[in-house]
Structure 1
């Protein structure tokens, strides 16, 4: 199935980190005659010609998708406001009941369906045709669209509940609703992290126990060394959807589980699997779920704070035209959605930085846990199928929510220089399917 001051602090901290990268690289470079930059270049040079051009084109095209996607969302919400869609739904339902939570639920339900339908052409292009164009999607259209309908069904259950709760808070605490609303969003996020592995993920993929053998034994040993529950290790059939490799340690409390997709098993070596699993275990041990919920909630809270200050003024000026009486009126939903969408578009660098910092920390943890720097470097190169391998420093800061392949390979070689006795430069073989 995501802080004005916090944003500035995150951006400033990340900028300082990037500024120090050259010094860090030089400090770690020659160990026992091992040249980190030469070892890094040996991996990066395995991606050349049409393969590199396609990787760059796919990822760089995604920069524009961020902008166009935000514009599509603004246009859709603008149309719903222009034609008083939410106000009409509110009036129809209020003619039958005066219970505001029912009215809000109905407006939220109708809004979710309308948004899905109006953005469907964009979703089909970005999620189906573009993915097929770059040979990243294995599904036909019927299977792909069926999953979109499944996602819609989940949204029709979850989204109205969240919106009903937030509007109830707006009406009960008109001055401080943004603060309480932030807390509600955080609680829903935590609840989602608990239930998603058990009840949501199986709606899209089949999960089965990983077969016994040396690889499973190694994963179990790594988990035990880091106090991660490993009674169940699942493999899921992501190959029916995509060729991408992935794994995760998901869930909270009783739903914690280790999962890896069949692409990871089928397209990589056991050492590469161990490197990936070490990284994913790092997210669990370093409490990245809780940290992400906290900081993303702060960003979300800042957005709600700004909306709480700006929306009433917009409604006072244009509310009659849109059929909105106040910010607590369910008919204001498209307006609040529009404003929140613009805010999150502007906050993209801050959100990317938060995620990327977590990923960098998990990379270091995974290298220490698996002790497979060359395998980790090979995995980083495999991810070039859909991630630009060598972006500029500012480009990586703005658009990457994970470290680039070059950053990851260099980090692995730096770790190798420091931790492997008598390290040698490896001339990696060409990437294989």
Structure 2
């Protein structure tokens, strides 16, 4: 008889317990989102907002500074002198254009030194985001200068060659060149450029590596090598990437991510980065940005001839196919690139949102993803208005990302309430 009495007691208990659970408040994604947002408040939130909002003005002032540097090269006749020097060195016009790029990058970068120091060092230090001393920071800027000399010398030569071959349709050449250049740098950067600034080592065996390998293998991502790089020596931002194309593919995460996040946060971030690889975002972004630059080149092909005809002789420019006219092209394209900021941001932001959704599906860590989004909000305004987000954000805002993760949690988990 005892088993029956126990069974009867259990049944009665269920009658009491089940209705109580049925009346529990359902999980509310918006309330959960607000709970996360409330963890960033006071001085920390004010600083995050101020830093990011200040970046809006940096877009404008940075453009004006670049235009000023190019105008100085034209007004002083330095651009024509660079061309004359290149012509004395060689008779080959393609090589002349490459040689022109060397003093062009050096002098224009020198003109912009005060601006570079303020935006890249002083301001970052003021907001507590940079961990480098000035000497180390300046050393990396010198490496960047060398890389810019090489890259811009080639770009200038290719664009000017296109202008000489087809003065009216060179922008078509420029569009394809821009896309191919982006693909090229996406391929070589992980292997040859990134190690110039950081040391890459294999991630040690353990729970983090096991989790990353498991997620990668579940989506067919090569995971033979997973690298950690020492970015804490430069700043404290968390970061990771699945970069490269074909044989140059690398899964990498910085040491800040390992030090400042839990396993669930790390998995969420890495799931997001894997999304970029699986969804072919590198190639799609290269095509998208190629079209953006193509539009800017097309407008430049219509505007620059008039500028050169009006003021070119005074600047020592012989025609639109003269490499000394490069600063004119640069000024026009720089202004157009600023005007295209919402388009560029939308291209990137849409892919970041796709990667967010992918990462939630592969990692299944909505709270980890929300917590990582809160960490990123140390330097990104967490709750912008819709127009503000459209214009200035190249990633979804912290609020958007936390809300997405809470909605995913409500849809996919049996009991989505925080434990």
Q: Given that residues 108 and 163 in structure 1 are in contact (C-alpha distance below 8 angstroms), is that contact kept between their aligned partners in structure 2?
A: yes
Query: Higher relative contact order by CA 8 Å / sep ≥ 6: 1 or 2?
Result: 1
Whole-Å Cα distance in 2 between the matches of residues 158 and 294 of structure 1? Answer: 19
**1:318 aligned residue:** 311
Match of residue 175, structure 1, among 168, 173, 191:
168
**2:349 aligned residue:** 356
Report the alpha carbon displacement of residue 422 of structure 1 after superposing the two structures with TM. 2.1
Q: Given that residues 32 and 423 in structure 1 are in contact (C-alpha distance below 8 angstroms), is that contact kept between their aligned partners in structure 2?
A: no
Match of residue 48, structure 1, among 41, 48, 52:
41
**1:417 aligned residue:** 410
Match of residue 222, structure 1, among 192, 215, 218:
215
Q: Given that residues 32 and 422 in structure 1 are in contact (C-alpha distance below 8 angstroms), is that contact kept between their aligned partners in structure 2?
A: no
Matches within 5 A, 1:34-433: 34-425=27-418
Q: Given that residues 180 and 286 in structure 2 are in contact (C-alpha distance below 8 angstroms), is that contact kept between their aligned partners in structure 1?
A: no
* CA-atom RMSD in angstroms: 1.2
Query: C-alpha deviations, 1:8-58, integer Å up to 9, x for none?
Result: xxxxxxxxxxxxxxxxxxxxxxx9811111100110000111111111110
Pairs aligned (count): 396
Report the alpha carbon displacement of residue 187 of structure 1 after superposing the two structures with TM. 1.4
Other structure's SS at 2:112 match: helix
Whole-Å Cα distance in 2 between the matches of residues 315 and 381 of structure 1? Answer: 50
Report the alpha carbon displacement of residue 412 of structure 1 after superposing the two structures with TM. 0.4
Report the alpha carbon displacement of residue 246 of structure 1 after superposing the two structures with TM. 0.4
Query: C-alpha deviations, 1:69-97, integer Å up to 9, x for none?
Result: 11111111111111111101112332443
Name whichever of 178-187 and 367-376 sits farther off: 178-187
Query: C-alpha deviations, 1:236-272, integer Å up to 9, x for none?
Result: 0000000000000000000001000000000000110
Report the alpha carbon displacement of residue 65 of structure 1 after superposing the two structures with TM. 0.5
Report the alpha carbon displacement of residue 102 of structure 1 after superposing the two structures with TM. 2.6
**1:430 aligned residue:** none
Whole-Å Cα distance in 2 between the matches of residues 247 and 301 of structure 1? Answer: 30
Decide whether aligned partners of structure 1 residues 301 and 32 sit closer, same or farther in structure 2, where only a CA change above 3 A counts.
farther
Other structure's SS at 1:385 match: coil
The gaps in structure 2 that reach 5 residues or longer are 1-23
Query: C-alpha deviations, 1:395-424, integer Å up to 9, x for none?
Result: 111111100100000000000000010211
Report the alpha carbon displacement of residue 165 of structure 1 after superposing the two structures with TM. 1.4
Q: TM-score, normalised by structure 1?
A: 0.90
Report the alpha carbon displacement of residue 170 of structure 1 after superposing the two structures with TM. 1.2
Q: TM-score, normalised by structure 2?
A: 0.93
Q: Given that residues 348 and 394 in structure 2 are in contact (C-alpha distance below 8 angstroms), is that contact kept between their aligned partners in structure 1?
A: yes
The gaps in structure 1 that reach 5 residues or longer are 1-30, 427-433
Whose Rg is larger?
2
Report the alpha carbon displacement of residue 425 of structure 1 after superposing the two structures with TM. 4.1
Decide whether aligned partners of structure 1 residues 192 and 129 sit closer, same or farther in structure 2, where only a CA change above 3 A counts.
same
Whole-Å Cα distance in 1 between the matches of residues 120 and 409 of structure 2? Answer: 38
Query: C-alpha deviations, 1:173-210, integer Å up to 9, x for none?
Result: 22221101211121121111111111000000000000
Whole-Å Cα distance in 2 between the matches of residues 192 and 387 of structure 1? Answer: 27
Superposition misfits of 4+ residues, deviation over 6 angstroms: none
Whole-Å Cα distance in 2 between the matches of residues 253 and 32 of structure 1? Answer: 50
Other structure's SS at 1:402 match: coil
Other structure's SS at 2:242 match: strand
Q: Given that residues 82 and 322 in structure 1 are in contact (C-alpha distance below 8 angstroms), is that contact kept between their aligned partners in structure 2?
A: yes
Other structure's SS at 1:265 match: helix
Decide whether aligned partners of structure 1 residues 96 and 425 sit closer, same or farther in structure 2, where only a CA change above 3 A counts.
closer
Query: C-alpha deviations, 1:141-164, integer Å up to 9, x for none?
Result: 000000000011111112101211
Q: Given that residues 55 and 388 in structure 1 are in contact (C-alpha distance below 8 angstroms), is that contact kept between their aligned partners in structure 2?
A: yes
